[in-house]
Structure 1
Amino acid sequence: MSGCRTEITWIISLRATCIIPTGSTAMTTASWKRRRNSIQRGNHDCSASAGRVQCIWRIGMNETLPVIYLARHGETAWSLTGQHAGLVDLPLTAHGEHTARQLGQRLRGLTFAKVFTSPLQRVSKTCELAGFKAVAVDDPDLLEWNYGDDEGKTTEELLKVRPGWQMFRGGYPGGETAEQVSARADQVVSRVRTVEGNVLLFSSGRFLRMLAARWLGLGPEDGRFFLLSTASLSALGYEENRSQPVIRLWDDTCHLRT
């Protein structure tokens, strides 16, 4: 199926031949054009680039409540090879820098009360190239998982010596346990929930997966369900009030397809 990827909200592209829906209702490009012409602008967010109009539909949500945007860093040499990159301070590849700029285009027009970034260079450089370094605050709680003795190894290599191992259930020898990373994520959740206004967080893949699980009140092991691409954008929010946390958008990479 073509089109942009989401699990919670509509992500609609006029280049798509079909739309990934919320629930069981599909919408073709033609019907989307008709609906676009009949809706009020206040019911959706739109951006246009390279001939594509992309909208995030806001379905049944209280739009006065803040949104927490999650930006994963761009590509590194180890994200290409599948090696665990925790606290090792890797730079972005040239392609990673390009996608960080594209992420910045995706965020253009949005306003944020606070912007926080991991101090790791692959993350802070993504933040800089996206256009937010001047207003971003370094937050060590946003650091990637400390992989300890397993830094630089692939999951395949780890499973050979620890069959059945899962990172979100256990952890890493000489590094952090899942519970320790979960505690850091809880600190971030508590902090951003006190901010009046939208927040933008720049961090790394596995930490952001843990953050999503903890935002929803799920256990640390449930972080394994939330896959993330490099230079992707996700959004956490609320449905009707602050006691109803939801994921509004997950692993949006539409901006990388232009």
Structure 2
Amino acid sequence: MILYIVRHGETDWNKARRVQGFSDIPLNEYGRHLARQTAEGMKEIRFDLAYTSPLIRARETAEIILEGRNIPLIESDGIKEMGFGAYEGMCVTGKEKTAEMEAFQKFFSDTGNFVPAEGGESIADVMERTGSFLRELCTNPDLQGKHILLSTHGAAMTAFLNHIRGNLESADFWKWHVPANCAVTTVEVKEGVPAILEESKVYYKEPVKRWNIE
């Protein structure tokens, strides 16, 4: 089994550095451009099926990559973005820091001590559901030998890859940084065991944009 895991293209909230989480924000035109460039770069890759987060930014990214192919696209909450509850919609950059902004920024700067906002998920929550999805995927006998696209999100993708690395400590959650928009990581699964073959490949020419807390 080969997994091609992609983070969705850019949204207006990505550009504005707003916390998205479960908020269902569509791709912007630049995000669609990144997805089209990714589709072009992956056009020779065989896909047998695809899974997507139910959020529109991930689903649209998958639809663009798979355009013109008759590939089943399955929605799964297992690779939905981490929910941030009351933090969603908040801008996390700017010179003036509010107490709420300082509390959220622990998600990146002091992840082991991050406390979810009301209605939000913890690091343990997102690790649990992405881990369950990964185990079910790798042990499904019907999927052995398949080439599968997974369209997901920054935190969910990081959690998913941390399981593969065996990096399970909340304090080390961002050890390998936030995946760029439309970055693709390739994973091979042999006898139920996943291993990363290639990480954070981009198929567009623009400089890779990363999320930085200012």
Distance 1:131 1:191 in 2: 23
Matched residue type, 1:228 = P
Unaligned runs of 5+ in 2: 207-214
Distance 2:101 2:183 in 1: 30
Deviation, 1:134, is 4.9
More displaced stretch, 114-123 vs 186-195: 186-195
Task: Say yes or no: does 1:205 pair with 2:163.
Answer: no
For 1:119-158, list aligned pairs within 5 A: 119-131=54-66, 134-156=71-93, 157=97
Task: Say yes or no: does 1:173 pair with 2:117.
Answer: yes
Does the 8 A contact of 1:213 with 1:220 survive in 2? no
Does the 8 A contact of 1:159 with 1:165 survive in 2? no
Does the 8 A contact of 1:178 with 1:220 survive in 2? no
Give CA-to-partner distance per residue, 1:169-227, whole Å, 9 cap, x none. 33421200111100111112112202212221001111101110012222152331232
Matched residue type, 1:118 = S
Number of residue pairs the alignment of both structures matches: 190
More displaced stretch, 188-197 vs 67-76: 188-197
Distance 2:115 2:192 in 1: 30
Matched residue type, 1:165 = K
Does the 8 A contact of 1:214 with 1:220 survive in 2? no
Q: TM-score, normalised to structure 2's length?
A: 0.79
Distance 1:220 1:188 in 2: 19
Distance 2:167 2:52 in 1: 24
CA radius of gyration, larger in: 1
Distance 1:134 1:118 in 2: 16
Q: TM-score, normalised to structure 1's length?
A: 0.66
Task: Say yes or no: does 1:235 pair with 2:189.
Answer: no
Match of residue 111 from structure 1: 46
Deviation, 1:94, is 0.7
1:134 to 1:198, Cα distance in 2 relative to 1, 3 A: closer
Distance 1:111 1:161 in 2: 44
Distance 1:100 1:186 in 2: 26
Does the 8 A contact of 2:50 with 2:148 survive in 1? yes
Does the 8 A contact of 1:118 with 1:139 survive in 2? yes
1:73 to 1:206, Cα distance in 2 relative to 1, 3 A: same
Higher relative contact order (CA 8 A, sep 6+): 2
Task: Say yes or no: does 1:99 pair with 2:43.
Answer: no
Does the 8 A contact of 2:10 with 2:31 survive in 1? yes
- RMSD across aligned positions (CA): 2.4
Give CA-to-partner distance per residue, 1:28-63, whole Å, 9 cap, x none. xxxxxxxxxxxxxxxxxxxxxxxxxxxxxxxxxxxx
Residue 165 of structure 1 aligns to a residue whose secondary structure is helix
Sequence identity (%) = 21
Distance 1:142 1:120 in 2: 10
Match of residue 136 from structure 2: 191
Match of residue 247 from structure 1: 196
Does the 8 A contact of 2:50 with 2:71 survive in 1? no
Deviation, 1:113, is 3.4
